[in-house]
Amino acid sequence: MIRAAIMALGIVMAYATQLTVPRLPIGYAELFLSLWIILSIGRVLAGGRLEASPALTRFAGFWVLLTFALGVGAIVGYLTTTLPLAPVLHDTFAYLLVVCMTCLAVAEPEADRQLRRTGWWVLAFANAAFAWQVGLGWGWVHQSGVEPWFWDRFKGWSDNPNQLAIYCALFAPLAMHLATTTSNQWGRLLGLCTLVMAFYVGRLTKSDTFLYATVLTYLIFLGLRLRTWLAAEGGKSSLCRQIAVLFFIGCLPLAVSITPYALDQVSNVEDYAMSLTKDRGGEATEETAALRLYLWSQALEYGLRSGSLGLGPGPHLERPPITDKQFLPRPFEAHSTVLDVYTQGGLVAVLALAWIVGSATLSAWRAKLDALLALVASIVVFSIPHLIIRHPIVWYALSICLVAGTPRAIPATVPQRGY
């Protein structure tokens, strides 16, 4: 119970980059995750069991491939360019934390139950943290050293609004998963509260990616829930299912018939959609798009120049000229997970990342857990314009997907019994 709460604190506090531990050069997330790792290793040294689960095998294989790719990339980087030491050490420490977190979490006995328990703690802490940050944003409470706004965009405890938006986008489908797979009424209420708070805070960040990820996530979830409902009870037909099928069949000619009338309202729909985006799709959105395209083209150029071997951990891109109004003073990375992994570890690292995400997706599909599939979809959407591979919530989400869709394993250490 205590270890689950500590791990949850590490996951929730990972976006709180404005908060630092006094007299230590680390944040609260690194502190709590390091403490959880120490306690987990201590449990094993004290005689605790580990399970050689399929999820552990996949994570171990992925991390070995990624370590090899980053190692080769670091050699290429030091031979061909100058790598600043501080960012390299930062990325290396971040990767080390998530390696230990994922492997120890999925190797625990009853890992599925342990991860669910951690998830409930995550929802509880996330609700409390969101409530406090909203109070900061509207001036109801005060916290020294924290600036909750970047102009008109809410960032809470984060250094920039996009960091907070990533966690809002992932907390919501996690809450849907836990709420829809529990029979506890209080648990469902907690999940509903997290959905409301995550959506509200996410909209305050004015992140365009959060909007796209949220819409896609809920569409996927509703579609999968409809499929599950129609296929329930062994596919037996009932009056409600027959009515639902007829309704959706009739939607096609109905949609065709109202198309001429819908076209007249296109401008109104466009105006509404633009009102949901940052700066109503105006200068701020255009500037962000221009910055992204510049960084992405530069990342492809650097990756190809390295022979698709990468340049090692850390940022490698030059400061772009389009930084006048951006909240990042020095955008080191390409701000795209695939392209940043490509510049760091080359093609091997990209293929390894695609494999582990694909494995998590297939595991969630086999387990018929619709909200987990929506969770992976949200991860994929946010990985396109943002670097999210270092965020603990991403690896916790992939861990719970892999464990949910794989069978229980045989304990790695079996106690000897006398007969």
Q: Is residue 297 part of a domain?
A: no
Task: Give the pLDDT band (50/70/90) at residue 315.
Answer: confident
Instruction: Determine the pLDDT at residue 263.
Output: 44
Range of the domain at 59: 2-255+356-382+389-404
Cβ contacts of 351-356, under 8 Å, gap ≥ 24: 352/62, 352/65, 352/66, 352/69, 353/62, 353/66, 353/389, 355/62, 356/58, 356/59, 356/62, 356/398
Q: Is residue 239 part of a domain?
A: yes
Instruction: Determine the pLDDT at residue 136.
Output: 93
Q: Is pLDDT above 60 for 260?
A: no
Instruction: Determine the pLDDT at residue 322.
Output: 58
Q: Is pLDDT above 70 for 282?
A: no
CA distance 296 to 291: 9
Task: Give the pLDDT band (50/70/90) at residue 242.
Answer: low
Residue among 182, 188, 186, 190 nearest 122 (CA) = 190
Q: Is residue 15 part of a domain?
A: yes
Average pLDDT in the 128-150 region? 91
pTM: 0.84
Q: Is pLDDT above 60 for 280?
A: no
Q: Do you know the residue count of the chain?
A: 419
State phi, psi for 214 to the nearest 5 degrees: -65, -45
CA distance 49 to 29: 26
- Characterize the bridge pairing of strands 149-150 and 153-154: antiparallel
Q: Is residue 346 part of a domain?
A: no
Average pLDDT in the 15-30 region? 86
Q: Is residue 225 part of a domain?
A: yes
Q: Is pLDDT above 80 for 234?
A: no
Instruction: Determine the pLDDT at residue 198.
Output: 92
Residue among 162, 186, 233 nearest 381 (CA) = 162
Task: Give the pLDDT band (50/70/90) at residue 333.
Answer: confident
Instruction: Determine the pLDDT at residue 385.
Output: 86
Q: Is residue 330 part of a domain?
A: no
Q: Is residue 394 part of a domain?
A: yes
Instruction: Determine the pLDDT at residue 415.
Output: 41
What is the token pair recorded at 164? 């907070």
Q: Is residue 91 part of a domain?
A: yes
79-111 confidence digits (pLDDT tens): 888 777 878 888 889 999 999 999 999 988 888
What's the domain count of the chain?
1
Q: Report the chain's mean pLDDT, rounded to a whole number.
A: 81
Instruction: Determine the pLDDT at residue 227.
Output: 73
Instruction: Determine the pLDDT at residue 285.
Output: 59
Whole-Å CA distances, 338 to 213, 307, 329, 352, 380: 17, 16, 22, 11, 10
